[in-house]
Amino acid sequence: MSLVRVHNFSVSLDGFATGEGQRLDAPFGHAGSRLMQWAIGTRTFRAMGLHGDSEASFGVDDAFAGAWGPGIGAEIMGRNKFGPQRGPWENEEWKGWWGENPVFHTPVVVLTHHLRPALEMDGGTTFHFVDAGPAVALEQARALAGGLDVRIGGGAITIRQFLAADLIDHLHVVVVPIILGRGERLWEGLEGLEERFDIEATPSPSGVVHLVGTRRGAR
Amino acid sequence: MSLVRVHNFSVSLDGFATGEGQRLDAPFGHAGSRLMQWAIGTRTFRAMGLHGDSEASFGVDDAFAGAWGPGIGAEIMGRNKFGPQRGPWENEEWKGWWGENPVFHTPVVVLTHHLRPALEMDGGTTFHFVDAGPAVALEQARALAGGLDVRIGGGAITIRQFLAADLIDHLHVVVVPIILGRGERLWEGLEGLEERFDIEATPSPSGVVHLVGTRRGAR
Ligand SMILES: NC(=O)c1ccc[n+]([C@@H]2O[C@H](COP(=O)([O-])OP(=O)(O)OC[C@H]3O[C@@H](n4cnc5c(N)ncnc54)[C@H](OP(=O)(O)O)[C@@H]3O)[C@@H](O)[C@H]2O)c1
Ligand SMILES: NC(=O)c1ccc[n+]([C@@H]2O[C@H](COP(=O)([O-])OP(=O)(O)OC[C@H]3O[C@@H](n4cnc5c(N)ncnc54)[C@H](OP(=O)(O)O)[C@@H]3O)[C@@H](O)[C@H]2O)c1
């Protein structure tokens, strides 16, 4: 059975998954790179070419980071993760943050109220722009995933909808010991969520805590 | 030097330290006993007589719980932790949740805008009702503490004020994997707090994560 998975989704102690003021020169707003600092040094993120090529870590952070790819046949992301534009597309030249050969190498469903033609990139990534609720979007992603799992890539607005609809089987959240104070909250509107998940916590020497939630009844 | 310490302060994943609707028959409001479940089984809490006398745990939860008492000469708590009444005291018969011989065995400063006479209990606990900001309240608690440390006992409204004023040296927060959705948030208004603390995380088999923050420069 194809699972729905969240990986490496980083939130501050006060529950924010991104800062305020997302912009072209500040994809996470005032949070800067603090939420993803734990990942930047891992072998997995270096191998994606995202973060230079100095020495890579192989510890527990990398172990979790590396679970991101295997078995995934499609991603669903929100329009704000895709890029900094809001409202009607002023500029369809924007092709995401990830260059001509994005890290996904699978179809990617981008949720948005502002449709535009699918965007075929190098390396197997195609962005499909879809205006739909979580259940229908998941159906479309599954049709594109060739029987493999679907990753919900974020951001918070998107993941919240899938959690609210009880569509997520595996939930890997990284709690980063910072207080962001403002931005987009992951847990909003999800009171009692824990009743649907078994939760395991693993701390890392880097200071973050990896939480893995497995939906009860999910394989 | 006398330190200012927080112990066993429990927050949900979404940052709430108590639920909504605190009442005589629901001290934590809709949160019920979920925030303190990790502590209820420990030897420390059983020894305080708070939670029956079935078999006690001696694991990491108890190790943390037990650090609560030693070296403490006074506690500061908020009026909402002291009891369920709000506004002017309708009833000065209320002597706290803890019976005639409260667990503190030290002077306790209760912050409130509604003063009433000091309340001497059995076993060394005296409740002093004080209307003051954190710095002045701490001065008074120190005067009562005989050179020992001062514990800030909560709730969230109280601890936030001491954190905002940078008066806390040791901060033990227990992150409980539940989503409360509503209540009193601990981290509100504390953006950037992590810059002032070194933070260590220890998970427990019970599912909670113990965070210990040590203020930089504090012994
Ligand atoms: N912490 C992490 O690990 C992590 C991971 C990924 C991304 N991020 C960061 O998170 C931020 C983006 O997250 P976000 O929470 O602001 O937003 P998001 O979830 O990426 O995108 C939300 C937007 O997507 C569109 N959308 C979402 N659901 C829809 C639906 N059902 N139907 C139609 N359109 C829908 C809407 O845009 P329109 O109405 O404008 O179309 C909505 O405003 C970025 O800063 C990114 O860098 C963080
Ligand atoms: N999660 C945990 O580990 C933990 C620990 C302890 C308690 N709790 C729970 O937390 C709840 C209580 O916390 P809370 O955040 O609601 O409130 P709190 O901090 O216990 O008390 C706040 C009240 O104390 C008075 N106060 C606070 N600072 C003051 C100041 N500087 N000057 C004068 N008065 C001041 C005010 O009351 P007035 O204006 O009415 O006088 C204020 O509304 C209870 O449900 C308790 O069971 C949880």
Residue A57: per-residue pLDDT: 81
**Strand locations in chain B (E):** 4-12, 16-18, 72-78, 107-111, 119-120, 126-130, 149-154, 170-176, 184-185, 197-203, 209-215
Atom of ligand 1 minimally distant from the CA of A29 = 45
Q: Averaged over B54-81, what is the pLDDT? A: 91
List of E strands, chain A: 4-12, 16-18, 72-78, 107-111, 119-120, 126-130, 149-154, 170-176, 184-185, 197-203, 209-215
Residue B133 Cβ < 6 Å to ligand 2:
yes
Q: Mutate which of B7, B8, B13, B18 to test ligand 2's pocket (most atoms within 8 Å of Cβ)?
A: B18
Q: What is the pLDDT of residue A133?
A: 98
pLDDT at A26: 94
- SS3 for B59? coil
User: CA–CA separation, A132 vs B187, rounded Å?
Assistant: 34
How confident is residue A51, by pLDDT bands cut at 50, 70 and 90? low
> Nearest ligand to the C-alpha of residue A132?
1
Tell the residue number behind the tokens 């996470």, with chain if given.
A28
Please list the helix, strand and coil fractions of chain B in percent, rounded to the nearest 5, in that order. 25, 30, 45
Mean pLDDT calculated for residue range A32-51: 87
- Per cent of chain A over pLDDT 70 is 96
Which of A9, A15, A2 has the alpha carbon at shortest distance from A167? A2
Inform me whether the pLDDT recorded for A114 exceeds 80. yes
Q: Which atom of ligand 1 is nearest to the CA of A186?
A: 15
Q: Determine contact, residues B12/B182, Cβ cutoff 8 Å.
A: no
d(CA A15, CA A175): 8
Q: pLDDT digit string (tens) for A182-216?
A: 999 999 999 999 999 999 999 999 999 999 999 99
CB within 8 Å: A181 and B191: yes
Q: Which residue from B180, B190, B194 is facing A177, i.e. has the nearest CB?
A: B194
Structure tokens at B140: 């008074």
Q: What is the pLDDT of residue A46?
A: 87
Q: How much of chain B, in percent, has pLDDT values that exceed 90?
A: 88
Section A26-48 average pLDDT: 92
In a mutational test of the B interface, the residue from A10, A11, A14 whose CB has the highest number of chain B CBs within 10 Å is A14
Which pLDDT value is given to residue B23? 94
pLDDT value of position B54: 62
Q: Confidence class of residue B52 from pLDDT cuts 50, 70 and 90?
A: low
End-to-end CA distance of chain B: 8
Instruction: Write the pLDDT tens digit of every residue in A139-149.
Output: 999 999 999 99
Q: What value does the mean pLDDT of chain A take?
A: 94
Domain ranges of chain B: 4-215
Architecture of domain B4-215: 3-Layer(aba) Sandwich (3.40)
Q: How far apart are the first and last CA of chain A?
A: 8
Question: How many Å apart are CA B183 and CA B52, to the nearest integer?
Answer: 27
Q: Give this complex's ipTM.
A: 0.82
Encode pLDDT of B27-50 as tens digits: 999 999 999 999 998 988 888 876
Q: Which residue has the tokens 């220890």?
A: B202
Asked if pLDDT for residue B16 goes beyond 90, the answer is yes
Q: Which residue among A179, A188, A209 places its CB closest to the CB of B203?
A: A209
Contact: B192, A179; criterion CB under 8 Å: yes
Q: Examine the pLDDT at A37 and tell me if it is beyond 80.
A: yes
Supply B89's token pair: 């005291």
Question: Residue A184 CA: which ligand 1 atom is closest?
Answer: 15
Contact B75, B150 (CB under 8 A): yes
Tokens of A120: 């075929």
Phi-psi domain of A217 (left: phi exceeds 0; alpha: psi -120 through 50; beta: other): left
**How many beta-carbon contacts under 8 Å exist across A and B?**
80
Taking only the tens place, the pLDDT of each residue in A69-100 is 999 999 999 999 999 999 999 988 999 999 99
Residue B166 scores a pLDDT above 60: yes
Cα B155–B161–B166 angle (5° rounding)?
125
Cα Dmax for chain A = 44
Tokens for B152, please give them: 């800030």
